[in-house]
Structure 1
Amino acid sequence: MSDHPAPPVPEPVDVQGSALVDWEFAAAAAARLAPPGPKADRAEIAALVTDLRSAASRAVGPVAETARMQAPADAPPALVVDRAGWIRANCASMGEMLAPVLDDVIARKREADRQRAERAGRELPDLGAASQAISGKVTGTEVAGLLSWVSTKVLGQYDLAPQGNPTLMFVAPNILGAERELGVDPADFRLWVAVHEETHRVQFTAVPWLRQHLIDQARSVGTTMMPEPDQMGQRLVEIARAMPAVLRGEEDITQVVATPEQRERLARVTAVMSLLEGHADVVMDEVGPSVIPSVEHIRRQFTQRRKGAGNVDKLLRRLLGMEAKMRQYKDGAVFVRAVVDQVGVDGFNQVWTSPETLPHPTEIADPPAWVARVHG
């Protein structure tokens, strides 16, 4: 008999959805992977930051006048960040946004494992902390690869920040790179971008219920999009079969990974996103040359830039569903302009009354149907 006591039996680890992705690791890895951006000396960087902050302030009046909506006076000021700063903010927001979704994934998997173990007469295996940590870092590495690429594309963002305070951000190196690539007037371009992002800030602060509504809808879609554990293999086979069509641009990745019911839910969220992006695009153009003298030239150049992505860039956009995102700008802008033409800006702003007055998926392509439903 040993003189040493037996080692204690470890308590079962409470598996949380957050363990599926190590968000801190993902943020650090993505920041290392992301290229630093265009070259600029310290004086140019300092001037860029100052000018972007000024542009954010100068955008407030034109947006309020054009959209006939205004953010509250106590809304926090805009932040100017580099790519690493954008990555950190989005990892924090994504972690909080996806936490309930991933918790549901874990719960369903554990229940499926429990039932299999019960049928086989075995005990349910415990997932130890070490195993969770390894899994979280593997997934975190995949997230880091995606975020490092996306961080080079985003000019600005209104971060919904489910975990805290929403913030308007401008990604300085991307704005500098875009204005150089487009050959546009820097001051005009920075204000043009600021007007777009200020419009998003107004949408979510002047319409108090909108932020939580969109967060709830996105989480609901995320939860329903996750296949049951016993369906995962079949879903992967379906995705593999459809992938050549996705890469050729003949199929939308979101249509491949979703069931008909899931597509309907996704369509509702997409309709809202089309509204938000289209409205911001319309406002940024409607402020006019009295505020942004070269606005028409900027729009032509920017539209051409969206079309002119290289082959690798286009493939990544298709795989990430970003081509569908580009369509949101176009479809939403067509909807907004058509409604404004029919019932004016104040009539259009009835869209912000409640979740029930948001456009249905079919109404984005049929603005008179929305007008008939909401205005009678």
Structure 2
Amino acid sequence: MSDLPFGFGPPDRDPERRGEPGGQGGDGPAGNDPFGLGALFGAAGAGGGNPAELLGKMPLFAELQKLMNWSGGPVNWDLARQGAISQLAPGHQPTSAGEQAAVTESLRLADLWLDQVTDLPSGVDRGLAWSRVEWVEQTLPAWTALIDPLAERVVAAMTSALPAEAASIAGPLAGIMGQMGGVMFGAQVGQALARLADEVTTSTDVGLPLGPQGAGVLVPQNVAAFGEGLDRPEDEVRLFLALREAAHQRLYAHVPWLRQQLTDAVHAYARGIHVDREAIERGLNDAMSGMEGGLDPSDPESIQKLLGSGLLEPEETPEQQMALRRLETLLALVEGWVDSIVSAAAAERLPGHSALAETMRRRRASGGPAEQTFATLVGLELRPRRLRDASTVWGAMAQQHGPAERDRLWSHPDLLPTSDDLDEPLDFVSRQGAGDPFAELTGGMDEQSDGTPPEQGESTTDDEDGGAGPRA
């Protein structure tokens, strides 16, 4: 998933990875056409004419034309689902009754172990074993809520930035751009979900709860792949991953504001997407003067060249950078807490814990599902350094102040470490021993039966990076 379908990010934030073929900073398609809009005109570029007419004459695209009538939003989710499932079909392995029983038992045992290291109660009321195809189908509602606002904002930014001259140049293409955009996004999302389904072992591998509430989920086919080469028993690998799934579920079930804050951070980034209209107009004028005879409205290939020239690449605003830092920090805190309590629960009970935990760390460092998914969606890379610092905070909190005080930091978003705090995690932990830092913020929460923090989502601090949760 190194290709970024939506192209939200500026050049790759990791200097060592800039310039790789196909990367955001390289010479591949993602760098030259960040929105992938050149694909809208590729079919017509070879022979000229109206793309809609050409598609209609090609049997291969007969079904595609039907999908272009999608009116359910900026992403054609029917196409995304069909595309993902078709890619997964060759290696599809339905789950068996034995696998279902093994997953249920592993999650039950995981909850018993976690009860001894955290006061947060279980968030799992049923265990489910999903195939890769079931993972795609069951997580689509969560992806729809997350991705639709992003895709919609990209289309709106692109449309508003194009000057009137561009619309007249597009001519007959203007009427089908929206429909083609839905098809394009749907195809790319489907491809991304298929790749993700090949890797994920649980419903929370990307850091967000993607499955039904209360469901602890494992993907047995991918659990087996995770354990390959580790020389550990299958039930041990399954239990390690069940511990991680059950830990995630506890956190999301009993920290009611957490899910919404993560989603809000993604959408705060989307609200900031814009394209420099003046840059588009300058580029259009330059392109027209530089091309022989200017841009030919009847030649979609010339429009494709314009769209692929990089003129539509969005500029990242300071507000978006703040949203990304908040999202990165909050996801790191979630993963760090999970690492910490799983280690506390399993280190002396699970013989292969060290090897399994190291495999998970290597997976992250090489760009696992969480990092790749958010890089695809918002240009964010969940850096391992942040995860290590977050794990240090949670481990030190439990050691110096006890598990109860560690978990009380989740009672309000303003109690959590900020990005700056993660730079010096032990300093943050030492400050927690001075007085009662919870009294002022948690006092008002006692009156709320649902545990939602007062004035959720509003700014409560003036920190430069916005702290650990969105203040949008």
TM-score by length of 1: 0.73
| Uncovered stretches (5+) of structure 1, i.e. residues with no partner | 1-14, 242-255
Match of 1:273 in 2: 331
The equivalent residue for 2:76 is 22
- 1:145 and 1:177 map into 2 onto residues whose CA distance is 20
Q: Structure 1 residue aligned with 2:267, among 195, 207, 219?
A: 219
Aligned to 2:357: 299
The aligned residue for residue 172 of structure 1 is 220
Conservation of the 8 A alpha-carbon contact between 1:17 and 1:101: no
**Structure 1 residue 108 displacement after superposition:** 4.6
* 1:147 equivalenced with 2:193 (yes/no): yes
Give the whole-Å Cα distance in 2 for the aligned partners of 1:54 and 1:279.
23
Distance 1:78 1:257 in 2: 44
Q: Which residue is equivalent to 2:202?
A: 156
**Distance in 2 (alpha carbons) for counterparts of 1:353 and 1:309:** 31
Contact 1:68–1:346, Cα closer than 8 Å, also in 2: yes
Mapping of residues 330-369 of structure 1, within 5 Å: 330-369=388-427
| CA distance in 2 between partners of 1:239 and 1:272 (Å) | 33
- Contact (CA 8 Å) 2:92, 2:131: kept in 1 or not? no
Task: Give the counterpart letter for 2:183 in structure 1.
Answer: K
Choose 227-236 or 193-202, whichever is displaced more. Answer: 227-236
Distance of 1:271 and 1:329 partners within structure 2: 9
Report the alpha carbon displacement of residue 31 of structure 1 after superposing the two structures with TM.
Answer: 1.7
Cα distance change on mapping 1:89 and 1:329 into 2, 3 Å: farther
The question of whether the paired residues in 1 share the 8 Å contact of 2:227 and 2:237 is answered with yes
- Counterpart of 2:13 in structure 1 is none
Structure 1 CA distance for aligned equivalents of residues 366 and 424 of structure 2 = 29
Q: In the alignment, does 2:275 pair up with 1:228?
A: yes
Flag the 1:45–1:350 CA change in 2: closer, same or farther, 3 A. same
State the 1:199 CA deviation: 0.8
Aligned to 1:64: 115
* Contact 1:70–1:202 (8 Å) recurs in 2: yes
Pairwise CA RMSD: 4.3
Structure 2 spans left out of the alignment, 5+ residues: 1-68, 284-306, 435-472
Matched, 1:371 2:429: yes
Deviation string, structure 1 residues 328-358 (Cα, Å, up to 9, x no partner) = 5433222222333332222222211111112
1:186 matched to which residue of 2?
234
Query: Could you tell me how far 1:195 is from its partner in structure 2?
Result: 0.6
* 3-state DSSP of counterpart to 2:217: strand
1:284 equivalent in structure 2: 342
Distance of 1:185 and 1:204 partners within structure 2: 30
Equivalent positions of 1:289-328 (< 5 A) are: 291-303=349-361, 320=376, 324=382, 326-328=384-386
Is the aligned partner of 1:48 residue 2:99? yes
> How many residues are matched?
334
Deviations 1:258-299 (Å, cap 9, x if unpaired)? 444422221111111101001111222211355423323433
Are the aligned partners of 1:19 and 1:136 in contact in 2 as well (CA < 8 Å)? yes
The 1:342/1:316 distance shift into structure 2, 3 A limit, reads closer
SS across alignment from 1:79: strand
Using the TM superposition, give the Cα deviation of residue 96 of structure 1 relative to its aligned residue in structure 2, in angstroms. 1.3
Equivalent position SS for 1:100: helix
Give 1:143 shift.
1.6
Q: How does 1:59-138 map to 2 (within 5 A)?
A: 59-71=110-122, 75-109=124-158, 111-112=160-161, 116-117=163-164, 131-138=177-184
